[in-house]
Amino acid sequence: MSSKWGFSLLFVVFFLEVTNALNASHTSQSQDTAIHCSTYGQVNYRTFDGKLFDFDGKCSYNLVSGKEGGSHIFQIYVKNEQRCVNGTCRRGIVIYLGHSKQKISLDTNANGTVSVTTDTHSLDLPSTAYSHGIEDIAGNVIVKGPYFALVWDTKENINVEIDPEWKNKTVGLCGNSNGNKTDEFTNEYGTLPSAQAFGNSMAGVGKIILLRFLSDRL
Ligand SMILES: [Ca+2]
């Protein structure tokens, strides 16, 4: 095991400790059945089904979306920014909730200060938005709602835990959560030939996804 994933696993342990502390109001979910995905270093990913892969992309990507009845109930996008300082590249997160796509954005300013905004205003942590609790614990931003819990170290590490009810109902870089880690590089159009093509297919929304998918097939 490489040191980068060793570090990532340590972060997962921290993530579990934090989410367990927050789980008092989330009793339907246990540590044994919860499903976890993580990304570290802007290029390393571990899917819900345990597939490890590298994907290098400087754009906004669908990390995990929960789909039900053909609709996205929640969407978590990771923004991989171009700017890197001392080997650390900035990331941000955008969350869309419900059919109306209520938006929560997590970013860091140039000085490293965390910025959390909704569709209409900025939030001072701890706070709530659209039935999701958002707080800062030991320098990590935690977003916790009915379907998922997310931990971001405000740099490159992001961990997402979904409720088991979303098993086999996810799409994105975190995979399809069907318990099979050999079929992760698929999207709604089919199987992709590589991790890079799979990652590219998760860029942005709508036409961008289709165009990148087609370009990878040519
Ligand atoms: Ca799978």
**Around ion ligand 1, which residues have CB less than 5 A away?**
49, 175-176, 178, 180, 183-184
Q: Which of 84, 83, 45, 49 is nearest to 61 (CA)?
A: 45
**Torsion over CA: 170, 167, 186, 4 (sign):** positive
Q: What is the three-class DSSP state of 25?
A: helix
ω into 126 cis (within 30 of 0): yes
Strand order in the sheet with 71-85: 122-123, 114-118, 102-108, 88-97, 71-85, 60-68, 170-171
pTM of the model: 0.82
Per-residue pLDDT of the chain (218 residues; tens, 9 = 90+): 343 444 444 555 555 555 554 444 444 444 456 799 999 988 999 999 999 999 999 999 999 999 998 899 999 999 998 888 888 889 999 999 998 999 999 999 888 899 999 999 999 999 999 999 999 999 999 999 999 999 999 999 999 999 999 999 999 999 999 999 999 998 878 899 999 999 999 998 544 444 444 444 44
**Element counts in the chain: helices (H) and strands (E):** 3, 17
Q: Report the C-alpha dihedral over residues 11, 40, 9, 77, rounded to 10 degrees.
A: 80
Residue 93 Cα to ligand 1 midpoint, Å, equals 23
Question: How many Å lie between the centroid of ligand 1 and the Cα of residue 182?
Answer: 6
What residues are paired with 78 via a beta bridge?
61, 93
